[in-house]
Chains A and B, each alone.
Chain A
Amino acid sequence: MSEVSFSFDDKLYMGHQGEPMAAALLRSGVLSITNSTYHGRPRGIVGLGVEEPNALVQLVSGTQESILPATVIEVADGLNARSLTGIGALPELPDEARYDKTNRYVDTLVIGAGVAGIMSADEHVRAGREVVLIDDQPKAGGYLRHLGQELPSAMRDILAHGNLTYINRCTAVGLYDQNYVVAIERRSDHLGNSASDKRARIRVWHIRADQVVLAPGAFQRSLIFANNDRPGIMLSHAAATYVAVHGVRIFSRAAVVTIDNQGYRDALRLHNAGIQVQGIFDARPKAGGPSVDAAKAAGIPVRFRSTVLNTASNAEGALHSVLIQDLDTKETFQTAADLLAVSGGWTPIVDLATHIGIKPQWSSEHAAFLVSQSTDRLRTAGMLAGDFGGDDDPLVFFGPALDSEQARKAYIDLQRDTTLHDMRRAVGAGLHSIEHIKRYTTIGTAHDQGKTSGMLTIGALCQQEGLSPADVGTLSFRPPYVPVPFAALAGRERGLLSDPIRITSLHQWHVEAGAIFEDVGQWKRPWYFPKPGERMDDAVRRECVAAREGVAVMDASTLGKIDIQGPDAAVFLDRIYTNMFSTLPEGQCRYGLMCKADGIVFDDGVTTRLGKNHFLMTTTTGGAARVLAWLEEWLQTEWPDLKVYCTSVTEHSSTIALVGPKSRQLLKELVKDIDLSKDAFPFMHSREATIDGIPVRIARISFSGELAFEINVAWGHARHIWERLWALGRPYDLTAYGTETMHVLRAEKGYIIVGQDTDGTQTPYDLNMSWVVSKKKEFIGRRSFQLPYLKATGRQQLVGLLPENTDEVIPEGAYITVLNAHPDEHGKTRHTGFVTSSYYSPTLRHAFALALVADGLNRMGEVVDVPIGKKVLRATICDAVFIDKENIRRDS
């Protein structure tokens, strides 16, 4: 392995390429990485992998990813990291790394490339199946790697088989129904400076497998005793691996505390590496087996029925000595040690199994929860299935009896600084369910999600309440198994690619004209067109005045358009809309409102009859897809006998709205082949015409209340028509306007926007639109108008509001009250409605608003209060139509 240098907390260290950063730090004498988050106690490296609760770092280089355990970061040239105290910091710069995702369908997915996983993979390959084997480590072998052993050649051959794909550094983070697994492959961080920036840093795998084998292995756990968190107290398997495999030489005297034979194996490895092992303190009354015999033969003292009660530290906070207690006599004695290796038993990794609702079963023989049941599509192998391999013979034991002073220093969750005392307090508060205790104490809620603390919590609860873990059950784990960067989940769908952007065929003109855009769904729409030096208010007032007094033009192409054809099209529309469409003559348009079956307004728009069996429906810009789905649902599932075909044609044609008293005069200069006069071409009529030989359809539709013409033209010809209008319009001071002016103009006329002036609880009657509800026919929603709660008085109704202060635009969404009136049962003022649309009207020279007010249509002229912060604005309820109630301008 090559030697490379890396930075940690601004100091340079040497390490072997590919080894865990924790190993290199330990070898350099860095035992204490940081202080604990809440209690500020020094904490050292405890574990070997993702279970590590203490040694958290943040990358300084590259992506600046946070909350990474030093036990999983591989040493690489250029690695630069700093220690973290529990809380990470968001990077200041955007993450420039690449992330991607891929799908894989396979016969068998094996999770975990330890011996059990490799043997399972072999079994499936031999059965002629295609196998994917994923493992979160850099190299396969699992436990063997911790022993420093090479993979036997037979297993290397299995990995090399043509029907097997082995993916290393790939962590399964979620197991879902139907053997769907999401896994995260880390592909470049371990390469350090030599990584190509074209290589995806993380690849998200979406794997669907006919069969899944879970062989994830197990985490070792600690014990609960006083001051069990000092640097120098480690899981025995981790300590032995750092010493024996990674050449850590910073410890001289070790004590080993155990409840199984794993402690003996680890003690022997420490002894063989030259560390003086003061003793193996075994909570069991006796122990046997090869592991025990070997440790004894090496001359390591063994004391049964003893365990660690407390520890002491030196001035730096690192472990100095250990207080051992005889579990029978309760006598204690001190042992000097700078390393306390704790073997508290193995906790098989049940996380993925619990993701899909499998309940692990307690096994006293293993002192562990296991998942041994299998189905024809999901099996477990290795330690999770109870195959511990050795002669472990563990005792169900989680720590000695502690008094309340000791319990305050006996940590269960090192990340959250939660102690046995905290757990006892939770039980004292009446919490007995492990899930409730977790939430009360926050145990298991940190980045490690209780990988080592979960089982200790269960053990402590059992010792407290005299229960068996079988009674308590495991905590539920939820995906992801390890933290996953959001950047990985986003993949390439970020920035411009995060969502499609829809633009009209006139978009480039708007850009060149300096438009400010707003997002309406996925559409970019011009919001307003400021002239140099103009603020938004100035631009909107200028645009409004042009539309009301001269002529103005707007791009209305984003309106949803649905082409409806078929012999039953008219019958169908009669059922969908609240008003009648079968009586609409060809070449004419009609405003329509649609309700859901519950009588609530759902969408609106103008529909034109292009032929006997041919209609063009327009919908709100944001409602196009939803309306089409609604039409299809009725046609397919209720009225299959109707011969009607619906097609989305939103992008087939552009719509240019030419608005204002001078619009006819301007349009006459461009359209020569039809008569545009008031009598020949009345309001709500549609005509085919040509402009420069281009076929257009012109409709007298007005969303402003002014004389207006909507020119519909094939998408690709819109810019030509627009520019012709623009050139001819110069003498008229033709003004382009955006959505803000459109809103002011329509609100002045009391025209609603479904979703802005409605909140999903209004009937047409609530909107004062009974004129659009047919009394002569059946339609969706009609029956609901008879329901008592839709007929009741006091429902919120659409009205206008005129603020007392002519310049004060009330914020949209503001609550409307009448102070000191309508108190509720507590004597407090109840709100009586809210503001839905609110603008300044240059035409009225007055601020105005639309609002939904309880019984509002019967409260004309009433003065209401609108509290805004500490101010109270006053306004008068009025009709929702502010301009041209007689529609003289519109019909002119």
Chain B
Amino acid sequence: MNMERAELPIKSYFMLHIPCPHCGLRNETEFHYGAEAGVAYPDPNTLTDSEWAKYLHIRANPKGWLAERWVHFAGCGRWFNLWRNTVTHEIGPAYLPFTTQPKSPGNIGQEGSRA
């Protein structure tokens, strides 16, 4: 897989068009949302009940820019990550899992993020 394609030459898009790293700009209806990106599956047995419950149920939901997981279910079927502004619905750069996260297009949303 060509990891260099992760950095897409896009300016700023809005929510109804999403840049799939594999297929290009596609309609939002072709995608499913997968909440906050970068929450790795922890080693379950090293966590307290409360830490495990936090992994299960708590995800960042800030006002502003958030790195999220999306899957192009009606296209290539691949998961990828995407910067999205939860207030303006602006879409930032997309990047593949396990690659370096590109810089946030703006201030990272703070309010309501995970403690």
A residues apposed to B, CB below 8 Å: 176-180, 208, 597-598, 629, 632-633, 636-638, 640, 778, 782-784, 786-788
Is B78's beta carbon under 8 Å from chain A? yes
CB-contact partner of B56 in A598, A636, A788, under 8 A? A598
The reply to whether A640 and B79 form a contact with Cβ atoms under 8 Å apart is: no
Q: Mark interface residues in B60-98 (1 if CB within 8 Å of A CB, else 0).
A: 000000000101010001110000000001000000011
Give, as a whole number of angstroms, the nearest-CB distance from B52 to chain A.
5
The reply to whether B14 and A783 form a contact with Cβ atoms under 8 Å apart is: no
The reply to whether A177 and B97 form a contact with Cβ atoms under 8 Å apart is: no
Q: Mark interface residues in B24-41 (1 if CB within 8 Å of A CB, else 0).
A: 000000001010000011
The reply to whether B71 and A633 form a contact with Cβ atoms under 8 Å apart is: yes
CA distance A179 to B78 in the complex (A): 27
CB-contact partner of B79 in A597, A637, A786, under 8 A? A637
Give, as a whole number of angstroms, the nearest-CB distance from B98 to chain A.
6
Nearest chain B residue, comparing its CB with the CB of A628: B77
Chain A residues with CB under 8 Å of B73's CB are 629
CB-contact partner of A788 in B13, B14, B49, B78, under 8 A? B49
The reply to whether B79 and A783 form a contact with Cβ atoms under 8 Å apart is: no
Nearest chain B residue, comparing its CB with the CB of A782: B44
Is B15's beta carbon under 8 Å from chain A? yes
The reply to whether A640 and B16 form a contact with Cβ atoms under 8 Å apart is: no
CB-contact partner of B16 in A180, A783, A786, A787, under 8 A? A180
The reply to whether A178 and B13 form a contact with Cβ atoms under 8 Å apart is: yes
Is B115's beta carbon under 8 Å from chain A? no
B residues apposed to A, CB below 8 Å: 13-17, 32, 34, 40-41, 44-45, 47, 49, 52-53, 55-57, 69, 71, 73, 77-79, 89, 97-98
Contact of A784 with B79 at beta-carbon distance under 8 Å, contacts A178-B15, A178-B16, A778-B44 already known: no
The reply to whether B16 and A636 form a contact with Cβ atoms under 8 Å apart is: no
The reply to whether B49 and A177 form a contact with Cβ atoms under 8 Å apart is: no
CA distance A782 to B44 in the complex (A): 8
Chain B residues with CB under 8 Å of A782's CB are 44
CA distance A693 to B7 in the complex (A): 54
Contact of A783 with B52 at beta-carbon distance under 8 Å, contacts A178-B16, A629-B73, A637-B97 already known: yes
Chain A residues with CB under 8 Å of B55's CB are 597
Nearest chain A residue, comparing its CB with the CB of B73: A629
Nearest chain A residue, comparing its CB with the CB of B69: A637
The reply to whether A640 and B97 form a contact with Cβ atoms under 8 Å apart is: yes
Give, as a whole number of angstroms, the nearest-CB distance from A760 to chain B.
14
CA distance A784 to B44 in the complex (A): 9
**CB < 8 Å A-B pair total:** 54
Give, as a whole number of angstroms, the nearest-CB distance from A49 to chain B.
30
A-B contacts, 25 listed (Cβ < 8 Å): A177-B15, A177-B16, A178-B15, A179-B14, A208-B17, A597-B41, A597-B55, A598-B56, A629-B73, A632-B77, A632-B79, A633-B34, A636-B78, A636-B79, A636-B97, A637-B34, A640-B98, A778-B45, A783-B44, A783-B52, A784-B52, A786-B49, A787-B49, A787-B53, A788-B49
Nearest chain B residue, comparing its CB with the CB of A176: B16
Chain A residues with CB under 8 Å of B15's CB are 177-178
CA distance A40 to B97 in the complex (A): 65
CA distance A656 to B104 in the complex (A): 55
Contact of A638 with B40 at beta-carbon distance under 8 Å, contacts A633-B71, A787-B49 already known: yes
> For A177, A208, A640, A778, which residue has the most chain B Cβ atoms within 10 angstroms?
A177
The reply to whether A177 and B89 form a contact with Cβ atoms under 8 Å apart is: yes
Chain A residues with CB under 8 Å of B71's CB are 629, 632-633
CA distance A886 to B49 in the complex (A): 39
Chain B residues with CB under 8 Å of A632's CB are 71, 77, 79
- If A177-B14, A177-B89, A597-B55 are given as contacts, then 12 extra A-B residue pairs at C-beta distance below 8 Å, sorted by A number, are A178-B13, A179-B14, A180-B16, A597-B56, A598-B56, A629-B73, A633-B79, A636-B97, A637-B97, A783-B44, A783-B52, A787-B53
Chain B residues with CB under 8 Å of A177's CB are 14-16, 89
Chain B residues with CB under 8 Å of A208's CB are 16-17
Give, as a whole number of angstroms, the nearest-CB distance from A19 to chain B.
39
Give, as a whole number of angstroms, the nearest-CB distance from A213 to chain B.
18
CA distance A788 to B32 in the complex (A): 32
CB-contact partner of B41 in A176, A598, A636, A638, under 8 A? A638
The reply to whether B17 and A178 form a contact with Cβ atoms under 8 Å apart is: yes
Give, as a whole number of angstroms, the nearest-CB distance from A174 to chain B.
12
The reply to whether B52 and A787 form a contact with Cβ atoms under 8 Å apart is: yes
CA distance A314 to B13 in the complex (A): 61
CA distance A783 to B16 in the complex (A): 38
CA distance A178 to B89 in the complex (A): 9
Nearest chain B residue, comparing its CB with the CB of A636: B79
CA distance A552 to B98 in the complex (A): 52
CA distance A638 to B55 in the complex (A): 14
Give, as a whole number of angstroms, the nearest-CB distance from A599 to chain B.
9
Nearest chain A residue, comparing its CB with the CB of B91: A178
CA distance A598 to B77 in the complex (A): 24
Nearest chain A residue, comparing its CB with the CB of B53: A787
Chain A residues with CB under 8 Å of B57's CB are 598
Give, as a whole number of angstroms, the nearest-CB distance from A889 to chain B.
40
Chain B residues with CB under 8 Å of A640's CB are 97-98
> For B44, B71, B78, which residue has the most chain A Cβ atoms within 10 angstroms?
B44
Give, as a whole number of angstroms, the nearest-CB distance from A160 to chain B.
32
CA distance A783 to B44 in the complex (A): 6
Chain B residues with CB under 8 Å of A784's CB are 52, 56
Chain B residues with CB under 8 Å of A783's CB are 44-45, 47, 52
Chain B residues with CB under 8 Å of A638's CB are 40-41
Nearest chain B residue, comparing its CB with the CB of A781: B44
Nearest chain B residue, comparing its CB with the CB of A633: B79
Give, as a whole number of angstroms, the nearest-CB distance from B24 to chain A.
14
CA distance A177 to B18 in the complex (A): 12
Give, as a whole number of angstroms, the nearest-CB distance from B6 to chain A.
14
CA distance A586 to B17 in the complex (A): 47
CA distance A176 to B56 in the complex (A): 34
Chain B residues with CB under 8 Å of A778's CB are 44-45
Chain B residues with CB under 8 Å of A176's CB are 16
CA distance A193 to B99 in the complex (A): 63
CA distance A178 to B78 in the complex (A): 24
Nearest chain A residue, comparing its CB with the CB of B56: A598
Closest 10 CB pairs of A and B: A178-B14, A783-B44, A636-B79, A177-B14, A178-B16, A638-B41, A177-B15, A177-B89, A637-B79, A180-B16
